[in-house]
Amino acid sequence: MTGTKKGISACELQRQLGYKRYNTIWDIMHRLQIVMGKRDALYQLTDMVEFDEGYFEKEVSKQTKSILKRGKGSQRQSNVAVMAESTPLEDIETGKVSRHCRYFKITESINSKTFVFSDKSKSYVHMSDYIEAHLAEKSSKETTSETLKWVHIAISNAKRNLLGVYHKIKGEYLQNYLDEFVYKLNRRNLNSIFDRLLVASVYPYWHTND
């Protein structure tokens, strides 16, 4: 699982390992995905954060496919909060401002002293009650490409990754797959994710609230 920055299916792992029991491989993969999520949950995004929603498709039964709504709000779509910790950087010579991204989150974990950038969705009207400041811009092509650049790149890459590797994903396991994607994304500059996952696997998470 850590040998590639992209995801790998249980079927492909079964083929590579030559192991007969698919359910065992699937179970171990999900246990490791849960560990990845727990590890990233220890950290909070700070300073300036881009925030938006991503809609990820999940498996639905054949009996209900014909009665589902289409597009935004469809029962086959899971609404996921996606955040990217980014810092505006200005080129001294040209004066052009760009954003440098550090870490990503697909959870609710965010520091209360954070500046959050988002679009003007009605879902975010009370966000300023929980953070330092909330700056909302009307959704547009410029907002997508500049203000919320990195969060939209993360959403796009996550969708492409999940669709390219997995045939279908049940809603109850979607968070596990997203946790794996974000865990690898946040460690994209490391030489070995395997070593970090070993440490994450033995960390006593049940003591974090003590």
Q: For 1-23, how does the pLDDT look when each residue is reduced to its tens digit (9 = 90+)?
A: 998 888 899 999 999 999 999 99
Q: Where are the domains of the chain?
A: 10-207
Q: What is the pLDDT of residue 68?
A: 55
Q: What is the pLDDT of residue 210?
A: 45
For residue 145, pLDDT over 70 is answered with yes
More confident of the two residues 78 and 111: 78
Which strands make up the sheet holding 133-137, listed edge to edge? 97-105, 77-90, 48-57, 115-119, 133-137
Q: For 55-77, how does the pLDDT look when each residue is reduced to its tens digit (9 = 90+)?
A: 898 887 665 555 555 555 566 78
Asked if residues 48 and 88 have their Cβ atoms less than 8 Å apart, the reply is yes
- Does residue 95 come out as left (phi exceeding 0), alpha (psi in the -120 to 50 range) or beta? left
Asked if residues 51 and 147 have their Cβ atoms less than 8 Å apart, the reply is no
β-bridge pairing 133-137 and 97-105: unpaired
Whole-Å CA distances, 5 to 44, 138, 157, 169: 22, 34, 12, 19
* Mean pLDDT of the residues in the chain: 81
